[in-house]
Amino acid sequence: MPLASDRASLAAFPIDWGGLAPLRLKSRAVAEGVYAGMHRSIRKGAGVEFGGQRPYVPGDDLRFFDRRALLRHDRLMVREFETETDRALWLCVDATASMSYRGRRAPGAKLAYAALIAAAMARVALATGDPVGLAWLGGAGTHGLPAMAGREAFERIVGALEATSAAQDWSGDAGAIERALAPVAKKARRGAVVLLISDLLDLAHESGAERALSAFTPLSTGGRTLIALQVLDPSEAELDFEGNVRLRALEGGAVVEADAGAVRAQYKARLAALADAWARALASRGGRLLRATSADPPTDVVRALVQAIAEVRR
């Protein structure tokens, strides 16, 4: 479960950046350490999907001259197509209350780490000319962004990530995930890469992974690629407490008192089962699950994400 000290839960948790700030500088440094190209950037040209028309310009390839437009509207038009590799990167960042947790070994909260990975991935994608969109699961002060490219896109994405606080308890709201992902389902076009960054813990509360998976996996329709990155705090991943502990969930309000050593194996087995359910479901849709802790080198994680995207698109 998401862990917390024995105190009253707050309505919102400002990001505990720790050593992960400033985001602009950290994410640029991470991106520079990663292979710069996930795939080719969006270009118009010969391809498999019609991408619209535009007025003819002297020098255009006459093979794409639209004769019907000339006959019907007496206008010289050229047909455009989108290549199969045209796609945007959609970042879906979990900002529910459980993402505010920071243990003693982590450089920052899980949400801070997720924001760093998201910003670095945006930097890599934008460097190749690919548009990047941003969507949120939970959170306070969140600001979703449509897929966009260009110089200002990175600054807008970083600004939206920095302005967010972890908030909302989704343990009792069965439709929250579907509502959060609806804009992505509507706007992400064929070939888009949808990257979910989450601890997956609150998304699996009570009903297991089924509810979250049933909302996320349908996004693979229409030729979209699904990648999920599970981010846990090292204390959550290992349950590295000693002796009798009293732990309170940041979502759902559950309180557990136990001998950490006695329940560690069972706890880790349940985490593994959760990850296995996600991995199998995503693999059946041609996607991939990756796992990390908030203490892992972010450059390694971003490099693994870039590689996973390249592999599933082959």
**SS3 helix, strand, coil % of the chain, rounded to 5?**
40, 20, 35
Evaluate the omega torsion of the peptide bond into residue 131 and state whether it is cis, within 30 degrees of 0: no
pLDDT at 57 over 70: no
pLDDT at 70 over 80: no
pLDDT at 38 over 70: no
Residue 202: half-sphere exposure toward Cβ, Cα within 13 Å: 30
Task: Give percent of the chain above pLDDT 90.
Answer: 59
pLDDT at 207 over 70: no
How much is the pLDDT for 170? 81
Report, as an integer, the average pLDDT of 82-107: 86
Contact between residue 22 and residue 115 where contact means Cβ atoms under 8 Å apart: no
How much is the pLDDT for 223? 87
What are the tens digits of pLDDT across the range 282-292? 999 999 999 99
Q: Lowest-confidence range among 18-27, 65-74, 239-248, 276-285?
A: 65-74
pLDDT at 6 over 60: no
Report, as an integer, the average pLDDT of 61-78: 73
Q: pLDDT class for 23, splitting at 50, 70, 90? A: very high
What are the tens digits of pLDDT across the range 255-271? 888 888 899 999 999 99
How much is the pLDDT for 40? 47
- DSSP assignment, residue 219? G
What are the tens digits of pLDDT across the range 137-194? 999 999 999 999 988 999 999 999 999 999 998 877 768 889 999 999 999 988 899 9
How much is the pLDDT for 45? 44
How many Å apart are CA 270 and CA 243, to the nearest integer? 20
As given in the structure block, the two tokens for residue 154 are 């990175």
Considering the chain, what is the average pLDDT of its residues?
85
Q: Lowest-confidence range among 21-30, 57-66, 90-99, 168-177?
A: 57-66
How many Å apart are CA 181 and CA 178, to the nearest integer? 5
Report which of 178, 122, 173 is spatially closest to residue 152, judged by C-alpha positions: 122
pLDDT at 102 over 60: yes
How many Å apart are CA 175 and CA 53, to the nearest integer? 39
Q: Lowest-confidence range among 16-20, 51-55, 191-195, 205-209?
A: 205-209
Q: pLDDT class for 76, splitting at 50, 70, 90? A: confident
Report, as an integer, the average pLDDT of 98-102: 95
- DSSP assignment, residue 213? H
